[in-house]
C-alpha cells in the first residue's frame, strides 16, 4: 500500500493516525503522518521529517511519530575525574539550545583539571515506587505494616522473580490514617529502572491484596516521588546520590576565573544558600539543571527526571588559601541501557563517555555515569559562580552573541 492510498484511508476515517503501523512499516507510517499534518495545517515539516535513524528502532520510545527534533550537541572538557569506579579524563556531550552553556562548563572543566581533577563518590543507589493501599482504620494500618515486615522475605523473593537484574532493597511504610504508602526501593543496576520497578511492584501488590485486607488504590501514590519536586527525594534519595568536590589553588581561581576564593564563597552563601532558603527552593545550587538537562538530552535519559536530578546542594569554603567546592546530587536517575539510550545519536554520546550498555559488573556503567555527571555539575557551578564574582555573566552572553 502506497503513501497516497494510506493517506486517503486515513482521511476517510478507515484508519486512525495511531493505527498506521498496523498497516505499513514504521518509516512509511511516520512519513504518512507527517504529510497528513502538513496538509491539514498548511505547514512544511521538512526538518522534522529529515531524521536519520530507523523509525522501527524508536518504536519503544515514541507513539504517532512524524519525525525528530534536532538539538545542537557540544563537547566540554576534558575533565579529570577520580571516583569509585572511574579514573581518567572525560569529554562531556551536552545537547542544548542555550548559548554560552557549553563554554561555561568548558571553562569550569579547565580550572578543575588544572587543579588536579574532581573527586567523586556514590553514597546511595535506590530506584523507588510507592503504591498506596487503603485499610479500614489506623489499627488496621499498623497491622498491615507489621504484616509487611513479617513477610518481607517472601515479598522479596516474589519481587526479584520479575527481573534478571533488579533487586529489592527495602520497603518503607508511610501511614496517613487508613492510607498506607509502601515506598519500595530497588537496585536496578545499569538501567534507570522505572519500568522494571513498576512491573515488580505490581506483582507484589497483587500478592499483598490476596493476603491482607488492604486494597490497592494506585500503583503510584506520589511518595516515589517521580518527576515532581519532592523533599523525600532529597532526604532519602532516589536513583543515585553522588557527590563531587575539588580543592582549587588561589592562583588558578585568580588567573583562570578572574575572581577570588572569598568572593565565590560569599556568592555561594548569599545566592545558593540564603537566596534558595528564602525562596524555599528544593535544591540549593546555581545552575545544576542546565548541565543535567544537557547531558540527559545527549544520552537518552528521561528528560522529565531533570526535576529530581536538579536536587543539588553546592557548598564552598576557603581552605589552605584556595577554594574548596563540592556538589551533592541527591536524586540522580540515570541509565546506560534501555529507554532512549538505544537511539543512535544517544548511543554515540554514551560512547564518548565510554559507558554504553551494561557494565561489568552490572551497575558499574551507571555508577560511572553518575560520577561523571557530578563532575560536570561541579564544573558548571564553579564557572557560573566565578562569572558572577568577576561580574562577567552578562558580558559573556553578549560576547558570544546570545
Residues annotated as catalytic (active site), given as ranges? 98, 302, 397
Sequential DSSP letters for 174-209: EEETTEEEEEEEEE-TTB--HHHHHHHHHHHHHHHH
d(CA 193, CA 305): 12
Helix (H) or strand (E) holding 387: helix 364-389
Q: Tell me which residue has cell 534558595.
A: 276
Distance, in Å, from the CA atom of 79 to the CA atom of 383, rounded to the nearest integer, reads 13
Q: What does DSSP say about strands 73-82 and 118-129: parallel, antiparallel, or unpaired?
A: parallel
H/E element holding 318?
A: strand 312-319
Instruction: Check if the beta carbon of residue 65 is closer than 8 Å to that of residue 51.
Output: no
DSSP state letters, 252-284: HHHHHHSS-HHHHHHHIIIIIIIIHHHTT-SSB
Q: Where are the alpha helices (DSSP H) in 22-174?
A: 26-41, 101-114, 138-150, 152-160
CA distance 71 to 96: 6
Host H or E run for residue 127: strand 118-129
Residue 120, beta-bridge partner list: 244
* Alpha carbon distance 275, 260 (integer Å): 21
What is the grid cell recorded at 141?
494500618
If we measure between CA atoms, which residue out of 112, 118, 110, 115 comes closest to residue 87?
118
CB crowding 225-258: b at 16 or more within 10 Å, else e: bbeeebebbbebbbbbbbbbbbebbeebbeebbe
Listed residue (236, 155, 149) closest to 201, CA to CA: 155
Residue 362 phi/psi, 5° resolution?
-55, 135
Amino acid at each position: 500500500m502506497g503513501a497516497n492510498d494510506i493517506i486517503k484511508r486515513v482521511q476517510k476515517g478507515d484508519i486512525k493516525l495511531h493505527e498506521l503501523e498496523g498497516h505499513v512499516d514504521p518509516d512509511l507510517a511516520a512519513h504518512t503522518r507527517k504529510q497528513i499534518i502538513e496538509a491539514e495545517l498548511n505547514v512544511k515539516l521538512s526538518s522534522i521529517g529529515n531524521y536519520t535513524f530507523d523509525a522501527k528502532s524508536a518504536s519503544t520510545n515514541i507513539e504517532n511519530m512524524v519525525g525528530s527534533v534536532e538539538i545542537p550537541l557540544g563537547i566540554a572538557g576534558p575533565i579529570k575525574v577520580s571516583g569509585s569506579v572511574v579514573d581518567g579524563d572525560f569529554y562531556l556531550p551536552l545537547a542544548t539550545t542555550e548559548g554560552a552553556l557549553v563554554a561555561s562548563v568548558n571553562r569550569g572543566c579547565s580550572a578543575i583539571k588544572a587543579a588536579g581533577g574532581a573527586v567523586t563518590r556514590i553514597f546511595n543507589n535506590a530506584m523507588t515506587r510507592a503504591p498506596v493501599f487503603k485499610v479500614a482504620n489506623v489499627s488496621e494500618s499498623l497491622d498491615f505494616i507489621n504484616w509487611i515486615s513479617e513477610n518481607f522475605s517472601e515479598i522479596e523473593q516474589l519481587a526479584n522473580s520479575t527481573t534478571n537484574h533488579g533487586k529489592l532493597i527495602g520497603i518503607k511504610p508511610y501511614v496517613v490514617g487508613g492510607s498506607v504508602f509502601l515506598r519500595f526501593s530497588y537496585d536496578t543496576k545499569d538501567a534507570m529502572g522505572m519500568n522494571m520497578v513498576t512491573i515488580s511492584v505490581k506483582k507484589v501488590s497483587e500478592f499483598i491484596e490476596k493476603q491482607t485486607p488492604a486494597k490497592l488504590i494506585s500503583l503510584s501514590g506520589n511518595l516515589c516521588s517521580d518527576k515532581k519536586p519532592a523533599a523525600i527525594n532529597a532526604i532519602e534519595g532516589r536513583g543515585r546520590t553522588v557527590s563531587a568536590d575539588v580543592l582549587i589553588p588561589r592562583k588558578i581561581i585568580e588567573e583562570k576565573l578572574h575572581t577570588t576564593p572569598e568572593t565565590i564563597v560569599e556568592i555561594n552563601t548569599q545566592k545558593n544558600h540564603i537566596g534558595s532558603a528564602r525562596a524555599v527552593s528544593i535544591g540549593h545550587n546555581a545552575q545544576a539543571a542546565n548541565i543535567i538537562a544537557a547531558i540527559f538530552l545527549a544520552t537518552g535519559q528521561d528528560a522529565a527526571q531533570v526535576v529530581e536530578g536538579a536536587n543539588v546542594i553546592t557548598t564552598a569554603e576557603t581552605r589552605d588559601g584556595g577554594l574548596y567546592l563540592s556538589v551533592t546530587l541527591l536524586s540522580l536517575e540515570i541509565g546506560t541501557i534501555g529507554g532512549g539510550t538505544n537511539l543512535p545519536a544517544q548511543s554515540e554520546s554514551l560512547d564518548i563517555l565510554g559507558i554504553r550498555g551494561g557494565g561489568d559488573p552490572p551497575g558499574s556503567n551507571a555508577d560511572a555515569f553518575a560520577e561523571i555527571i557530578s563532575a560536570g555539575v561541579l564544573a558548571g557551578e564553579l564557572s557560573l559562580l566565578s562569572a558572577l564574582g568577576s561580574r562577567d555573566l552578562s558580558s559573556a552572553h553578549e560576547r558570544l552573541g546570545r
